[in-house]
């Protein structure tokens, strides 16, 4: 018996990183998963690997209402219902606030904040119609504190926590629990500095990142996406049946304060 037997869960940003690990874990725990992303080749390959009885891939730009409607239609056509959502899709940009172009700020907000809103608005009625279920939003360590250089990202993740709390209040009567995971630094393509600085040596970048987080994080390392997936699983199954409206920090102790070096 899996923890998610009989469940149908939509996961956004599912082609790689945290979303991929969530899809793999949820499928292993008995869920049928609908993988939403804009990385078509990777998303389709993952769905094929998991198999047609367990997974479907759908192109989902979370900023587009029509894509959300299409994803809902694909999920219901394939599996008959939806009773879970993991709103994982997000983007990260590094810039000082006074140097951030308006277009860049709006892009981050559109994906991280508006995408989360559209997910709740579109999928919650389907979850209610299925008799209840769960929504897990991906916020961030920076949704609970500040971090220089990521103003647009931090602002959007603070907003995700606000949406999570309001949705939890409004949807509780419909038997929908809404919570948020708040990761610190996690080893995914989104946070890899080699990807953010074209031309950088990947190994040199990796050593720099490892050295940075050995200093900043009490546990002395960057997080792994499968660790975030396990928290998302907890919030999506009956193990968390009396929890809603809460942010769950998973950051190796980073938010706790400054440790001894």
- Encode 199-217 in three state secondary structure: CCCHHHHHHHHHHHHHHHC
Tell me the residue ranges of DSSP E strands in 120-204: 133-138, 176-183
DSSP structure class, residue 114? I
Catalytic one of 57, 141, 153, 213: 153
Helix axes 102-109, 151-171, angle to 10 degrees: 30
Characterize 60-81 residue by residue with b for buried, 16 or more Cβ atoms within 10 angstroms of its Cβ, and e for exposed.
bbbbbeebbeebbebbbeebeb
Q: In angstroms, rounded to a whole number, what is the distance separating the alpha carbons of residues 190 and 195?
A: 7
Terminus-to-terminus CA distance in the chain, angstroms? 45
Residue 153 annotated to the active site: yes
Cα-Cα-Cα-Cα dihedral of 167, 172, 173, 175, to 10°? 120
* Residue numbers annotated as active site: 153
């Amino acid at each position: 018996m899996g923890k998610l037997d009989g469940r149908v869960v939509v996961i956004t940003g599912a082609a790689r990183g945290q979303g991929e690990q969530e899809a793999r874990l949820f499928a292993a725990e008995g869920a049928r998963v609908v993988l939403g992303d804009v990385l078509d080749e990777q998303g389709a390959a993952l769905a094929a690997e998991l198999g047609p009885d367990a997974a479907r891939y759908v192109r989902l730009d979370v900023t587009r209402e029509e894509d959300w409607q299409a994803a809902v239609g694909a999920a219901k056509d394939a599996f008959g219902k939806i009773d879970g959502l993991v709103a994982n899709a997000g983007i990260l940009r590094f810039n000082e606030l006074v140097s951030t172009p308006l277009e860049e700020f709006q892009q981050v907000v559109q994906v991280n904040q508006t995408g989360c809103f559209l997910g709740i608005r579109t999928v919650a009625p389907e979850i209610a119609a299925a008799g209840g279920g769960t929504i897990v939003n991906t916020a961030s360590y920076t949704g609970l504190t500040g971090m220089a250089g990521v103003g647009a990202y931090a602002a959007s993740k603070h907003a995700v926590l606000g949406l999570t709390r309001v949705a939890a209040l409004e949807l509780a009567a419909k038997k929908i629990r809404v919570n948020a995971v708040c990761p610190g630094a996690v080893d995914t393509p989104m946070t890899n500095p080699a990807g953010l600085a074209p031309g950088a040596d990947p190994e040199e970048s990796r050593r720099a990142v490892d050295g940075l987080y050995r200093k900043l994080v009490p546990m002395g390392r960057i997080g792994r996406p499968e660790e975030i997936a396990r928290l998302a699983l907890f919030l999506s199954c009956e193990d968390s049946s009396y929890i809603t409206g809460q942010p769950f920090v998973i950051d190796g102790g980073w938010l706790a304060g400054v440790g001894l070096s």
